[in-house]
Structure 1
Amino acid sequence: MQRTLDILTRLIAFDTTSDRSNLALIHFVRDLLAEHGIQATVLANAEGDKASLLATIGPPVAGGVVLSGHTDTVPVTGQTWSQDPYQATLKEGRLYGRGSVDMKGFIGLCLAMVPQFLASPLKRPIHLAFSYDEESTCMGCLPLIDHMRETLPEVAAVIIGEPTQGRVVSAHKGVHSWRTEVTGVPAHSSRPDLGVSATFYAARIISELERTANELRTNAIRGELFEPPYSTLHVSAMQGGNAPNIIAKDARLHWELRNLPSDPPDAVRARFDDFTAQLAREMQQHSADCRIQTLEDYASVPALTP
């Protein structure tokens, strides 16, 4: 117990908010494992300010188990804390601090168990895989996954220590986020006939997304593993225009789909693309400079089932 608390206290002390470096924490973990004779691989990102870590305990054979967690945390800005969020505080059997549950708690437990792992007659390996940027882009684990696929024997299971109140969660929805940019033609508001309003067309796109969301809701599956038991779609933000008396030239909207494993995201995106292509043709009847472009935003996470 005390070893776990000591390690977790050190982990919490590192400010690994997603927009900051996690290297100090990764190097701490690397050095801690080295004290036990375990060599860890550190995989830095292209910018060199963040990294994942992979280490193996036991024989290099197939059938191992991966214990995985992300090292980044969400911000504390604007939150009311009764103590320093980066100083672990034990009160009435509960440990408080940023990341104490999501997910430094699990990482701390894994590291505290290392001496027992080493002392056990393991027939299959235990792999420790710690990533970054889960709380922001969900992209930080991808180079780590690629490296594992290239270097590890086939594994039997991956246990990801997200806070689930001790329940086994064996499936999750997909997450797909896009940014749609609408380019119109500016004009003075006294002559809207000379312009093409990007905000008007963005509003029509949002209405179409709402129709799609409502249709997805009708496909709720009774007894489904998820809450709510249907795919969801929402528009999280919209920006457009730059002056009250100018027909808006530009508009941007961010939208996200969280799909059931049974709902392919490609179908939603294809419907959306057909709709916006029709709008773009309508806009271009006024000016060839008009366009609607949709790009992947921050995440594309596949839905998973057992």
Structure 2
Amino acid sequence: MRGNAPILVTGVAGFIGHATAHRLLDRGETVVGVDIVNDYYDPALKQARLATFEGREGFSFHRMDVADAEAVAGLVRERGITRVVHLAAQAGVRYSIANPFAYERSNLAGHLAVMEACRHAPGFVHLVYASSSSVYGDKPMGGQGFREDEPAASPVSLYAATKRACELMSQSYAALYGFPQTGLRFFTVYGPWGRPDMAYFSFTDRIMAGQPIEVYGEGRMARDFTYIDDIVDGIIGALDRPPETGGHRILNIGGSHPVGLMEMIATLERALDREAVKIMKPMQPGDVTATYADVSRLHALTGYAPRVRLQEGLGRFADWYRGYFRV
């Protein structure tokens, strides 16, 4: 398949981008990876992810800020790119409280730069981009998952607001310029090579160091934890099935099985074979009580069916953590 036009993966040094690029390479695609490799969390982990591409046929890397519209457009033009998986963004709900302008550049200007490059690319096929479950706001969980046709008009963090804004910008560009786009609302992705700012990872750091963990929301929160391999299944399934010309769609991508925070901690303790000392804390600004994905649309389109439950996924993460940090 390496005769096909290259696929651009932005955020390739990140958690999801790294896994997606490897899967695409595994099936014979040519991948052009882009990342700024910033210091939001330890750049050494990002460099270690990039090191896993060394010697892989069909992969090239460009250190680049996706908000640099001229550079992104030049790369898309020069490499003849017709498909893009846009995962680069400034992540983190709590970080957005203290660092709002980082989200303006990475999320808003970055998304606009990628769309501008795509709309000028000859024969462009499909832009798949990362949105977030946070766009639903602090919604009561109830007995059914969050559905894409529900209003997403009350974000409770700047991060969520920028992700919803990206969805609206994509809707306008699809209508104006007619190139197909798919926005994927990710639900709490976890697994090996994950992000250190995520709860399961930061809890592991502290548990392994013999330090107490801070449990926000008094432990009453729930999250739809989604294992990285299942996420990549959904990304590539969606990429391979673009909407009609001019189409823009939003799809949930999650585990469709929310788990309480205290249950997650208990599962992690078993995986690490250590007990955590817990300090209960109130809910933090920008956090939501629960997330729960209805994935019926993605399933109907691609056959998506998450397979890895939390016990197995955290077990795999714990094994990776011990090997990577040699503990």
Larger Rg computed on CA atoms: 1
Calculate the TM-score normalised by the size of structure 1.
0.27
Higher percent of residues as helix: 2
Calculate the TM-score normalised by the size of structure 2.
0.26
